Amino acid sequence: MNDETKYMLKQLAFYTFIFVVVAWIVVPLIVATLYAFAAPKDYYDPNKVIPLHFTAKYVKTILIHLGAWEAIKNSVVVALLTIAISFTLGIPAGYAIAKFIFPAKDTIKLSIVALRMFPIPVMAIPLVILYIRLNLIDTRLGVALAHTAMALPFVVLITSSIFAGVATELEEAGMVFGLTRLGSFLKITLPLALPGLAAAAMFTFVMSWNEVFVASVLTLSHRTLPAQILSIMAGSSGGAAPDYYKFAAAFIMTLPAMLFVFFARKYLITMWGISLK
Amino acid sequence: MKKAVLSLFLIGVLAFAVVASGCVSKEETTPTTSEQPKETTPAKLIWVSTQLNPPEERAFVQEVLLSEFKKETGIDVEFIAISYTDLATRLEAEETTGKVTIDVIGELHGGLDYFNSKGWLMDLSNMPALSGRTFISTFEKYATIGGKKVYVPWMSATYVMVINKKAFDYLPDGLTKDDVMKGTEKWTYDAFLAWAKKLKEATGSPQVGFPAGPKGLFVRFLHGYIYPAYTGYQAKAFDSPEAVTMWNYLKSLWPYVHPASTTWDAMSDPLLKGEVLIAWDHTARIKNAIETRPDDFVVVPVPRGPKGRGFILVVAGLAIPQNAPNPDAAWKLIDYLTKPETQVKVLEKVGFFPTVKEASGALPAGPLKILAEGVAAQSSTPDAVVAMIPNLGAKGGEFKAIYKEAFTRIVLNNEDPATVTKELGPKLKGLFEEVGIEVP
């Protein structure tokens, strides 16, 4: 075997691998989209793999009659609130962990992560009782607070690693030239950390967007999209929704997330720390 | 300084929480409604239901039933589809705090039985009589648990067999299409086995399907269909010699049952995709197959066993939680939903059967007629052994688990039926003793 064939084979293996990975992700999306709009007759016809007749009826029913559109709006509001609250609480904590040395720092860090250890279903009933007492039940803010509790540990850890990546010397230089500590944070560290923070925001957004358990337990009327879709698709009569409704629901669930990632993908790379040098 | 900033943030968040959650405005509105309880109609009734949850049924409830109800009474109703576990969590929390927001609950008998055992439901016997209808007495008796009227029977359903007409080409000797359609003496479990065998031999793959998946209702087939058919009882003869015969029968049937059965939750899609030709399931879960291709399927009574033709009647009821905010308006909704006209509409559109005598003769037009005819044929068979899911309250889950365990061990893991049933029998009967009801 000469070098050229070796190289060709390597290339072939590489592209096959890439193809498999891409197909792994893209094929289900294509199938879900295609069947979301397929007419039932085509869908159930064993001789047809690709449907030829299309209808938007099922997507429309779910969106308009069954409240998925309202749920999308709720989801966005809840996700934005979650980001706002978890950032107001998480950024100072992340900054402190990154920049200061204080006793029991590692223990605190560990206990922040340990918060995520408790399974939420165990806390469901006390949580609902607490929410009813606080009049937070059935509100978007209530769901956002619960999502904050879930996202906060990650926000603290992600932001602390981002702040740790911004050189302390720059801040010190700023303070030498007359900035206060807060001023040097706002004018120097924050702008430098912004891409990383955007990534953390995205992470929080995605977590809130996907979360279903808390959202279904805490709300009846202001449901977020996953909770609404779950109640449409499953309910107690699990699996009773016909397949084409499930595909339509999958389409509705994935479309906003895909659009979001499409516009925000360059920030996602930042989360891995590539542009933060 | 940082501390001050942080506490400022916290205060800000808290203040925002209080304002946005609307505690202030809520407290303002409550007194006005309590001053004149008879005059004001509630802004919105909250009706949570685990029934009629699938997309099309839900659209029907919102656009037909509830808009009509609003026209009649002027009361707005919010229909909330919810899963059983979420409902239980929510109801427990609301009852614990005493701040109840749910006005009406639509649930299966089993769930309501459990909620009642926890003391979460109102006694409905003091409510005004519902005029112009007679409830089927079996259902009415069933809804009265321990002298308390727990719910109003709302809809009933059963489990039937659906047969793709192609399967009739492979009928075994001695069994005719008419026998199967009408549910005669000859339509037995043994004939069913012979048919399943012939189907597999002729087509090369097993053509019988059961919903034995994680959310499937196969366990109802075990305790309410085949057990009564072979032993005459659901649980009383759990470890009898007849039961051993029954388990051996199931073992011999299983090779002709589609292996994907243990993943299926509802049989409508496997039927439509042509994966199986014969299926057993809840009427609501095969309805879509009949509606999509009404010319291809028939609904038939289940086969009979040595002790008769066992089948289950399922009842869903409407209940009002203890301390519900608007019981009078809730009662109006219950009144509307159990009216014979409404019940016929529900049968026509979603295929759930009436619980009042005035509506029970009605046959819907269109595809669901096939379903109604099959169910009617099943309930009018002379050898019927009707089973009702027992009122085990909180123990209902364990009851199902025992049958599931027996099935897994005997049929799937090939253990000895006599040993397994002897082992599980006392456990099963213990459940009934604990709750204090007769073993069915």
CATH of residue A64's domain is: 1.10.3720.10
* CA of B307 vs chain A CAs: smallest distance (Å): 31
Q: Find the domain containing A180 and state its range.
A: 57-271
pLDDT at B95: 93
pLDDT at B9: 56
Q: What average pLDDT is seen over chain A?
A: 86
List beta partners, residue B311.
B386
Q: Count how many domains chain A has.
A: 1
* DSSP letter, residue B240: S
Window A:5-44, CB contacts with B under 8 Å: 40-41, 44
Q: Is A20 within the bounds of a domain? A: no
Q: Is A112 within the bounds of a domain? A: yes
pLDDT at B15: 53
- Contact indicator for A143, A224 with CB cutoff of 8 Å: yes
Q: Where residue A148 falls among pLDDT bands split at 50, 70, 90?
A: very high
Does CATH place domain B43-157+315-360 in 3.40.190.10?
A: yes
Nearest chain B alpha carbon to A64: B59
Note the CATH architecture for domain B158-312+385-435: 3-Layer(aba) Sandwich (3.40)
- Report chain A's C-alpha Rg in angstroms: 24
Q: Is A90 within the bounds of a domain? A: yes
Are B81 and A231 a contacting pair at CB < 8 A?
yes
Probe site for chain A from B89, B159, B267 (most A CB atoms < 10 A): B89
Range of lowest pLDDT (A181-190, A219-228, B24-33, B296-305)? B24-33
Buried b or exposed e, range B1-33, using 16+ CB within 10 angstroms: eeeeeeeeeeeebeeebeeebbeeeeeeeeeee
Are B62 and A65 a contacting pair at CB < 8 A?
yes
Query: What residues contact residue B92 under an 8 Å CB cut-off, 6+ apart?
Result: A125, A128, B118, B120
* CA of B56 vs chain A CAs: smallest distance (Å): 8
Buried b or exposed e, range B184-196, using 16+ CB within 10 angstroms: bebbbbbbbbbbb
pLDDT mean over A7-21: 95
Tell me the average confidence (pLDDT) per consecutive run of 10 residues in chain B, 440 residues long. 52 51 40 41 85 86 93 92 86 92 92 91 92 89 89 93 95 93 93 95 95 90 95 94 95 95 91 94 89 92 94 93 94 94 90 88 82 87 88 85 95 94 94 88
- Give me the total of CB pairs closer than 8 Å, taking one residue from chain A and one from chain B: 153
Q: Is A107 within the bounds of a domain? A: yes
- Please choose, from the candidates B357, B362, B333, the residue with its C-alpha nearest in 3D space to the C-alpha of residue B347: B362
pTM: 0.78
- Write out the residue limits of the CATH 3.40.190.10 domain(s) in chain B: 43-157+315-360, 158-312+385-435
- Please choose, from the candidates B128, B114, B48, the residue with its C-alpha nearest in 3D space to the C-alpha of residue B328: B128
Which own/partner pairs from B359-368 qualify as long-range (CB within 8 Å, at least 24 positions apart)? B359/B133, B360/B136, B366/B294, B367/B290, B367/B291, B367/B294, B368/B287, B368/B290, B368/B291
CB < 8 Å to B205, chain A: none
Q: Is A34 within the bounds of a domain? A: no
d(CA B177, CA B242): 29
Angle at which helices A140-165 and A120-133 cross, to 10°: 120
Window B:4-33, CB contacts with A under 8 Å: 5-6, 9, 12-13, 16-17, 20-23, 26
List beta partners, residue B145.
B148
SS3 B353: strand
Q: Is A35 within the bounds of a domain? A: no
Angle at which helices B417-435 and B241-253 cross, to 10°: 120
SS3 B322: coil
Query: What residues contact residue A55 under an 8 Å CB cut-off, 6+ apart?
Result: A37, A38, A39
pLDDT at A216: 87
